């Protein structure tokens, strides 16, 4: 795999979204699933909580100027529950979030995040409250997530984070990127395709 596919670290400021059981309907309203591509998904995360019917902004962390440009998202329990729509992590990623730190995640949501190279790591209830409080009160704080070492460093401290080993391995060795894997093994793909009956008109 190319080194470009390996994700070992994510650093930056953090945005805070509080609340348990935040589901994928809230993260990306169903009407935006009709988009033919993911290209505009970054316009839609938490759309119905961020804008009223007339398009006027409402108070929400994703509208708060102090969080603008943040690349980590701090959340609470069971984030990403509900439907299995892959548009939810796509919307967050294209908005600018490149890693999510929380108490727990819905399994399918976490899996969909890994498929686009976005780590979801967990910490305890007390730790997430401390992290959220710091990001809220000092939004300029930079956080450094080390996927390989499973550590989060900030403000002169370092705490452990947890991530399923299959997810960690896929991120650090680059195997999350299935398209990249195909490109890296293009000769093998072509050789296998040449042996498939339905690719050769069923000629022996």
Q: For the domain that residue 41 is a member of, what is the CATH number?
A: 3.20.19.10
CA–CA gap between residue 172 and residue 3 (Å, rounded): 9
Same-domain check for residues 115 and 195: no
Say how many domains are in the chain: 2
Q: Are residues 77 and 102 in the same domain?
A: yes
Residue range of the domain that includes 189: 175-204
**H or E segment at 173?**
helix 165-173
Same domain as 183, residue 168: no
What is the pLDDT, as a whole number, of residue 67? 98
Residues 22 and 85 in one domain: yes
Q: Are residues 107 and 201 in the same domain?
A: no
- Answer whether residue 113 is part of any domain: yes
200 and 148: one domain? no
Ranges 8-12, 16-20, 89-93, 193-197: which has the least confidence? 193-197
Residue 142 belongs to a domain: yes
Whether residue 117 is contained in a domain is answered as yes
pLDDT in tens, 100-146: 999 999 999 999 999 999 999 999 999 999 999 999 999 999 999 99
Given pLDDT bands bounded at 50, 70 and 90, which one contains residue 1?
A: very low
Q: pLDDT tens digits for 36-89? A: 889 999 999 999 999 999 999 999 999 999 999 999 999 999 999 998 889 999
At 192, the pLDDT band (50, 70, 90 cuts) reads low
Query: Mean per-residue pLDDT for 22-32?
Result: 95
Cβ distance 87 to 28 under 8 Å? Answer: yes
DSSP-based three-state secondary structure for 145: strand
Q: Residue 66 falls within a domain, yes or no? A: yes
Residues 99 and 187 grouped into a single domain: no
pLDDT for 179: 52
Claim to verify: residue 100 and residue 163 sit in the same structural domain: yes
Query: What percentage of the chain has pLDDT greater than the value 90?
Result: 78
pTM of the model: 0.86
Domain identity same for 94 and 194? no
What are the Cα distances from residue 151, in Å, to 8, 107, 198? 11, 21, 48
DSSP 35-55: -SSSTTGGG-TTHHHHB-TTS
Please indicate, yes or no, if residue 41 is contained in any of the structural domains. Answer: yes
**Quick one: 76 and 116 in the same domain?**
yes
User: Could you tell me the two tokens for 163?
Assistant: 């991530």
> What is the CB neighbour count within 10 angstroms for residue 64?
14
Q: How many residues would you count in the chain?
A: 204
The residue behind tokens 């894997």 is 181
Residue pair 76/18 in contact (Cβ under 8 Å)? The answer is yes
Kindly state whether residue 2 falls inside one of the protein's structural domains: no
The pLDDT, as a whole number, for residue 35 is 86
- In a domain, residue 188? The reply is yes
Higher pLDDT, 92 or 191: 92
**Quick check: helix, strand or coil at residue 170?**
helix
Same domain, 101 and 138: yes
**Burial class (CB within 10 angstroms; exposed 0-12, middle 13-18, buried 19+) of 99:** buried
Q: How far is the CA of 204 from the CAs of 160, 169, 190, 192, 200, in angstroms?
A: 57, 40, 17, 14, 8
pLDDT at 182: 44
Query: Is residue 27 within 8 Å of residue 45, measured between CB atoms?
Result: yes
My answer on whether 65 and 80 are in the same domain is yes
1 occurs within a structural domain: no
CA-based angle 162:165:171, to the nearest 5?
95
Measured between alpha carbons, how far is 134 from 28 in angstroms, rounded to an integer?
A: 27
pLDDT at 19 over 60: yes
């Amino acid at each position: 795999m190319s080194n470009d596919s390996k994700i070992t670290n994510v650093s930056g400021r953090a945005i805070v979204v509080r609340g348990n059981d935040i589901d994928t309907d809230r993260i990306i309203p169903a009407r935006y699933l009709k988009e033919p591509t993911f290209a505009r998904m970054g316009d839609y995360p938490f759309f119905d909580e961020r804008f009223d019917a007339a398009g006027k902004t409402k108070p929400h962390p994703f509208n708060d100027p102090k969080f603008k440009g943040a690349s980590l998202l701090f959340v609470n329990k069971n984030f990403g529950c509900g439907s299995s729509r892959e548009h939810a992590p796509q919307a967050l990623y294209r908005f600018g979030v490149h890693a999510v730190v929380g108490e727990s995640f819905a399994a399918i949501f976490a899996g969909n995040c890994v498929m686009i190279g976005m780590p979801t790591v967990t910490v305890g209830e007390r730790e997430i409250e401390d992290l959220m409080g710091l990001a809220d009160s000092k939004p300029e704080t930079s956080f450094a997530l080390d996927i390989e070492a499973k550590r989060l460093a900030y403000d002169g401290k370092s705490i452990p984070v947890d991530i399923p080993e299959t997810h960690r391995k896929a991120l650090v060795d680059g195997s999350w990127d299935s398209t990249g894997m195909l490109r890296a093994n293009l000769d093998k793909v072509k050789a296998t395709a040449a042996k498939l009956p339905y690719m050769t008109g069923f000629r022996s």
